[in-house]
Structure 1
Amino acid sequence: MAESDIDEVSQARAELLCFLVATVAASYSLTHEWRVDHVVESCRIWLRRNHLWMDWLERVRLGQLALKIANRDLKGAGIAVRQSNVQALFTGDMQLNYACTVVQRMMALCKEAL
């Protein structure tokens, strides 16, 4: 695999992880429950939207990592996802809003975690 391919794969994994973290954090702020089913479905949606495939075990690992980051690491990094700012995390077509400071900070955490 060429170095540029490895960089693309690493970037895609970071984007997927960040999407999962944002989704589970948003879901928690709205329902006050850590919903594994939301992580699973969000992973499927993101992979399908980006025309990518990922082994089931890797999906499970990223999902578990997303839950850990959302549950513990966001608070430790001073990132709070409240009901009032959930909408700012996503664009109109439910993709990450990279212009949002919270998303930028989440992405930094996700890249660090990988």
Structure 2
Amino acid sequence: MAGADINEVADASDARAELLCFLVATVAASHSLTYEWRVDHVVESCRIWLRRNRLWMDWLARVRLGQLALKIAKRDLKGAGIAVRQSNVQALFTDDMQLNYSCTVIKKMLSLCKEAL
């Protein structure tokens, strides 16, 4: 349950779209490096992002968002003309592993994630 200084992620919030984008970027980057779709990476990435942003999300909502992130990464990125390659993984994130919003791929990915919600 959310603490006094931790806010819940609202269904229609920008934070929800940013979290989804972070999960999609993380799982797509992981896949480009390992050629595996790692659910454990989605779970851990969600925990990291929520903790870093001092936000809380119900476990079932996290599961659903994680499933959506995997679906987008597996099926929707390519259809939207978004390719995550080993050579551009580093550009997706800042030095402290946050989304690099100046990256064109992240901008497109965030737009796709907003549409998916």
TM range (shorter): over 0.9
Percent of residue pairs identical: 84
Task: Provide the C-alpha distance between the structure 1 equivalents of 2:100 and 2:34, rounded to a whole number of angstroms.
Answer: 22
1:7–1:54 distance in 2 versus 1, CA, 3 Å = closer
Match of 1:13 in 2: 16
Task: Provide the C-alpha distance between the structure 2 equivalents of 1:59 and 1:96, rounded to a whole number of angstroms.
Answer: 19
Equivalent in 65, 68, 82 of residue 85 of structure 2: 82
Structure 1 residue ranges, 4+ long, deviating more than 6 angstroms after superposition = none
Amino acid at match of 1:49: R
Match of 2:65 in 1: 62
Task: Provide the C-alpha distance between the structure 1 equivalents of 2:22 and 2:42, rounded to a whole number of angstroms.
Answer: 9
SS in structure 1 at match of 2:82: coil
Q: Number of aligned pairs? A: 109
Say which is worse superposed, 7-16 or 98-107, in terms of deviation. 7-16
Task: Provide the C-alpha distance between the structure 2 equivalents of 1:21 and 1:103, rounded to a whole number of angstroms.
Answer: 10
Stretches of structure 1 lacking an aligned partner (at least 5 in a row): 1-5
Alignment of 1:1-114 (within 5 A): 10-114=13-117
Stretches of structure 2 lacking an aligned partner (at least 5 in a row): 1-8
Higher helix residue share: 1
Task: Provide the C-alpha distance between the structure 1 equivalents of 2:30 and 2:39, rounded to a whole number of angstroms.
Answer: 10
* TM-score computed with the length of structure 2 as normaliser: 0.90
